[in-house]
C-alpha cells in the first residue's frame, strides 16, 4: 500500500537573500488553495530561525503575514514541522544584507549545550507564533538535510517530544558537509533510529520517514526545469573549494533523484510513481509511505502539482501527513 506525504520547506534562501512575500507567503497561499480545493493537507516545515531573526531585526515587513499564515495552517489542519537553519541565530544585518554564522551551519556538530539552546529557542518561537504554550511539532527536518552526526541532536529533539525525522534522502552525498546517506539505501521505507539516522535501531526513539529518492543515471538530473531552478537559487558564484566539492558530488554514475514536486516535471513525477506502483503490485501488503519535498521558493509550476494530485487520485494513492501515518508506521516497524 502506497501513501504520499507532501512536505514543503517554508523559507527564503539559505544565505539570507530574498523576500518573505515573494518566496514564502505568496507561493504558500497558492499551494494551500490547491490542496484545500482537493480537500488534502501537506506538512509545512517552517524554518523558525530565520523568522525569529527577521522579526527581531525588522528587516522584512511581510513577517506579520507569514506568522498569520502559519496560524492559518495550524487552524486548517495542515501539519507544522520544525525546520532549522541554525546559521541564522548569530546572524547580523548590515548594509541591507544578512551575514550569517556558517560555523553553526550544521546543528549536529555543535556542543550539546548549544544544541539545547537552539532547539528550545526554535520551539519557543513556534509556540509564540501559535499562541499555544504547550505546542510541540511531531516532525523535524534538518537544514540542508544535515542530521549527521546524529546522536546528540537526535537525543535533544526526542527529549523535547519530536517523534519523526525527515532529513534523510537515501543515496545522498555531500562532500562539503560530510553528509553520507548511502548506507540508508539498504533500509526500507521507514525505520526507527537512535545513534545514526541512517541505521535502523528497533528501540530507537525517533522514526525516520526519509524524503523519497530513486537512484537514476546522472544524465537524468539534467532536465531544464531543475537546472533553471538551481540557477535561480545560487545567488553567489561558488568559490573554488565549494565548486570542487559540488563537482565531486556530481561525479557519480548513479544519483539520488529526490521526489521533488516543485523541481520535477509531471512526466518525471508520474514515472517515479509508476515504478513504485509496479513494486507495490508484487508486494501490496507492505506499507510504503513516500515523502515528497518542495520549497516555497521553488513553487512556480502549480499546473504540474495539480496534474500530479489528479494522477494520484486516479491511481487511488492517498495523500497523508506524518500525524496520520505515524502510528501505522510504528505498529509495522
Please give the backbone phi and psi of residue 102, each rounded to the nearest 5 degrees, phi first.
Answer: -75, -10
User: Which range of residues in 3-11, 103-111, 114-122, 311-319 is near Zn ion by CB under 5 A?
Assistant: 3-11
Q: Is residue 298 close enough to count as binding Zn ion by CB under 5 A? A: no
Q: Residue 202 CB, nearest distance to Zn ion (Å)?
A: 30
CA dist 83 and 134 (Å) reads 18
Pairing of strands 164-165, 213-217: unpaired
CB closer to Zn ion out of 9 and 323: 9
Instruction: Give the whole-angstrom CA distance, residue 333 versus residue 192.
Output: 7
Q: CB 129 → Zn ion: shortest distance, Å?
A: 18
Q: Is residue 50 part of the contact set for Zn ion (CB under 5 A)? A: no
Is 11 or 198 the residue whose CB approaches Zn ion more closely? 11
Choices 2-10, 70-78, 156-164, 177-185 (CB under 5 A): range interacting with Zn ion: 2-10
Question: Toward Zn ion, which CB reaches closer, 119 or 329?
Answer: 119
Provide, rounded to whole angstroms, the least separation between the CB of residue 83 and Zn ion. Answer: 6
Cβ distance to Zn ion smaller for residue 86 or 204: 86
Q: For residue 12, what is its C-alpha cell?
A: 527564503
Q: How far is the CB of 37 from Zn ion (least distance, A)?
A: 27
Could you tell me the smallest distance in angstroms from the CB atom of residue 323 to Zn ion? Answer: 21
Nearer to Zn ion, 125 or 189 (CB): 125
Using DSSP, how many helices (H) and how many strands (E) does the chain show?
11, 15
* Residue of 216, 295, 210, 223 whose CA lies nearest to 257: 216
98/198 Cα distance (integer angstroms): 33
Which residue's CB comes closest to Zn ion? 9
Q: Which long-range contacts (CB under 8 A, 24 or more apart) does 227-233 make?
A: 229/262, 229/263, 229/298, 229/300, 233/13, 233/297, 233/298
The verdict on 9 binding Zn ion (CB under 5 A) reads yes
Shortest reach from residue 216's CB to Zn ion, in Å = 23
How far CA 155 is from CA of 151, 168, 194, 250, 270, in Å, comes to 6, 17, 8, 32, 37
Q: Which residues bind Zn ion (CB under 5 A)?
A: 9, 11
Amino acid at each position: 500500500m502506497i501513501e504520499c506525504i507532501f512536505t514543503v520547506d517554508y523559507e527564503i534562501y539559505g544565505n539570507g537573500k530574498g523576500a518573505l512575500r515573494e518566496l514564502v507567503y505568496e507561493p504558500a497561499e497558492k499551494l494551500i488553495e490547491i490542496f484545500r480545493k482537493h480537500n488534502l493537507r501537506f506538512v509545512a516545515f517552517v524554518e523558525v530561525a530565520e523568522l525569529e531573526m527577521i522579526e527581531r531585526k525588522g528587516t522584512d515587513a511581510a513577517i506579520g503575514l507569514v506568522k498569520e499564515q502559519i496560524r492559518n495552517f495550524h487552524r486548517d489542519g495542515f501539519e507544522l514541522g520544525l525546520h532549522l537553519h541554525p546559521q541564522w541565530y548569530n546572524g547580523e544585518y548590515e548594509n541591507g544584507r544578512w551575514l550569517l554564522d556558517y560555523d553553526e551551519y550544521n546543528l549536529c556538530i555543535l556542543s550539546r549545550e548549544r544544541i539545547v539552546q537552539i532547539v528550545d529557542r526554535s520551539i519557543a518561537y513556534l509556540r509564540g507564533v501559535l499562541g499555544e504554550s504547550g505546542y510541540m511539532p511531531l516532525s523535524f527536518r534538518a537544514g540542508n538535510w544535515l542530521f549527521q552526526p546524529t546522536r546528540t541532536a537526535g537525543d535533544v529533539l526526542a527529549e523535547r517530544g519530536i517523534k519523526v525525522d525527515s532529513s534523510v534522502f537515501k543515496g545522498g552525498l555531500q562532500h562539503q558537509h560530510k553528509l553520507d546517506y548511502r548506507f540508508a539505501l539498504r533500509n526500507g521505507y521507514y525505520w526507527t533510529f537512535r545513534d545514526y539516522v541512517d541505521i535502523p535501531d528497533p528501540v530507537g526513539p525517533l522514526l525516520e520517514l526519509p524524503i523519497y529518492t530513486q537512484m537514476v543515471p546522472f544524465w537524468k538530473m539534467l532536465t531544464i526545469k531543475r537546472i533553471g531552478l538551481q540557477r535561480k537559487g545560487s545567488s553567489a558564484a561558488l568559490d573554488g573549494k565549494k565548486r570542487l566539492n559540488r563537482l565531486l558530488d556530481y561525479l557519480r554514475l548513479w544519483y539520488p533523484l529526490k521526489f521533488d514536486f516543485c523541481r520535477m516535471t509531471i512526466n518525471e513525477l508520474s514515472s517515479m510513481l509508476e515504478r513504485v506502483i509496479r513494486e507495490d503490485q508484487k508486494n501490496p501488503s507492505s506499507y510504503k509511505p513516500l515523502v515528497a519535498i518542495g520549497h516555497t521558493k521553488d513553487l512556480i509550476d502549480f499546473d504540474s502539482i495539480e496534474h500530479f494530485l489528479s494522477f494520484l487520485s486516479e491511481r487511488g494513492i492517498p495523500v497523508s501527513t506524518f500525524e496520520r501515518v505515524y502510528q501505522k508506521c510504528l505498529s509495522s516497524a
